[in-house]
Amino acid sequence: MVAEKKLLPPRTVERFFLYSRFLKAKLEMGAENVFSHELSLAVGISPEQVRQDLRLLNISGTPQRGYQIAPFLADLRGCLSMEVPVNAVLAGVGNLGRALLRHFSEARPNLRIVAAFDSDPDKYGREYAGCPVYPAARMDEIIAMEKPLAGIIAVPPAGAQQLADDMAESGIKGILNFAPVVIKPPKGIYLEQVDVLMALEKTAFFARNMF
């Protein structure tokens, strides 16, 4: 098993999460073993890459039976710290922000969004998917109190950079930005950007032009 503190590259982490999803589903269907070619097919990764990852994880199997799923999954989940609860906050409780609150709370109970922030007073004191909404001005204070590790940005583009800088200043270590603007990662902060509008624009562009 890879030591938890040895930093894995983002692409590797991504593949490990994909493996863990697939193994979990297979285990739930009653399977006990898995072959590397199944992982390769399910996750869309070359068999060589899968075998290289298995060596990195120190997972061993046999050509006849493949790999045992339960210990493999336990190793992956340990390596990915998936059993450790993480607290997060979210800024921007618009359509997308509300959907993310509901989506995340259903899908990942271990990743708890403890507070949301918005500049619309009508939303203060309301709860979405069990998460209370506070005035944006109270973000520093509430982050200091709740000590969340991750911050999710779902505000309009103009305010995103400032918000990321404020979150970093308050002690957030990882930022997930949904605002359709490229923001610069604050120093020492992991930044992940998901540009939903860009994804739609690209899909529309290639749908129209490719064929």
The site for a second copy (CB under 8 A) is made up of 4-5, 7, 10, 13-14, 17-18, 21, 42-44, 80-82, 84, 86, 88, 95-96, 98-100, 102-104, 106-108, 111, 149-150, 152, 157, 172-176, 180-182, 184, 188, 190, 192, 194, 196-211
Compute and round to an integer the Cα radius of gyration of the chain.
20
Task: Give the nearer residue to a second copy in terms of CB position, either 4 or 65.
Answer: 4
> Which of 126, 117, 112 has its CA nearest to residue 93?
117
Q: How far is the CB of 187 from a second copy (least distance, A)?
A: 11
Shortest distance, position 177 Cβ to a second copy, whole Å = 9
Q: Which is nearer to a second copy, 68 or 149 (CB)?
A: 149
Cβ atoms of residues 164 and 179 within 8 Å:
no
Q: At closest approach, how far in Å is the CB of 156 from a second copy?
A: 10
CB of 38 to a second copy, least distance (A): 13
- Of 87, 96, 95, whose CA–CA distance to 151 is shortest? 87
Our CB check for a second copy shows the closer of 4 and 141 to be: 4
Between β-strands 174-177 and 111-118, what pairing exists: parallel, antiparallel or unpaired? unpaired
Closer CB to a second copy, 65 or 147, in the complex: 147
Nearer to a second copy, 145 or 204 (CB): 204
Q: Which residues contact 49 (CB under 8 A, 6 or more apart)?
A: 15, 40
Per DSSP, helices labelled H in the chain are: 10-28, 36-43, 47-57, 69-79, 95-107, 139-146, 160-170, 196-209
